[in-house]
Amino acid sequence: MRRYYLRTCHADMTSYNGFQWPGVGETVTAPDWSPVAECGQGLHGLLDGVGDGGLLNWSPEAKWIVFSSANKPVDLIVKHKVKTARVEFVGNRKTATDWLMAHVAADKPVVGGYKTGGYRSTLTGGDGSTLCWRVWDGARYRLHVRYVAEDGIKSSTPYRFVDGKIAEVKL
């Protein structure tokens, strides 16, 4: 089964120790591969875009890469590594996370991704997310903001703004 991963690199498509990532459609193999569950010696990424966002390059110049692999991933708790990968998409934060959500993780929170919803929409957010509702009160629009892990708001849980209150959606 092919799995998808999100990662970042420098604008020149290099990452740690000068490793050069190829372009879209190309395959790459870790030259120093080891299946040992420790950082290094593999191609690293956030499986389905889920993991430690602090490991990503958030600079405006960063390239955001979505890659896929049929290899069994090595779980490093906050990220995964594989031996061989195919680059599926390269872009900025918005375009890469949109691509990942559209093709793989539509129902999951993706690090760096954001979604907007229209009238009567239901959205979820992962750890560290901010949930905002822009609601017309009859005279003007007002923002209602909640933060995941505060005031009972849970990660990866759908919420809706109903009758002036934030309500968890039971699916």
pLDDT bracket for residue 123 (50, 70, 90): low
82: left (phi over 0), alpha (psi -120 to 50) or beta: beta
The answer to whether residue 43 scores a pLDDT higher than 70 is yes
Section 18-37 average pLDDT:
96
> How far apart (Å, rounded) are the C-alpha atoms in residues 157 and 152?
11
Residue 116 CB partners (closer than 8 Å, separation 6+): 123
Instruction: Answer yes or no: are the C-beta atoms of 46 and 65 closer than 8 Å.
Output: no
For residue 80, give the 3-state DSSP assignment.
strand
Give me the percent of the chain exceeding a pLDDT of 90: 58
Which pTM was predicted? 0.77
Decide which of 132 and 45 is more confident.
45
Please give the sequence-ordered ranges of beta strands (E in DSSP) within the chain, or none if there are none. Answer: 3-9, 27-29, 43-47, 63-69, 74-75, 80-82, 84-91, 130-136, 141-147, 159-162, 165-168
| pLDDT at position 105 | 61
The answer to whether residue 120 scores a pLDDT higher than 70 is no
Residue 53 CB partners (closer than 8 Å, separation 6+): 46, 111, 112, 128
67: tokens are 């890659």
| pLDDT at position 122 | 66
Q: Which of 88, 71, 114 is nearest to 7 (CA)?
A: 88
| pLDDT at position 58 | 92
| pLDDT at position 67 | 98
Distant-in-sequence contacts of 117-123, Cβ < 8 A, 24+ apart: 120/160, 121/160, 122/158, 122/159, 122/160, 122/169, 123/158, 123/159
Instruction: Answer yes or no: are the C-beta atoms of 122 and 158 closer than 8 Å.
Output: yes
Section 145-155 average pLDDT:
90
| pLDDT at position 117 | 73
Which of the residue ranges 5-19, 50-64, 153-167 would you say has the lowest mean pLDDT?
A: 153-167
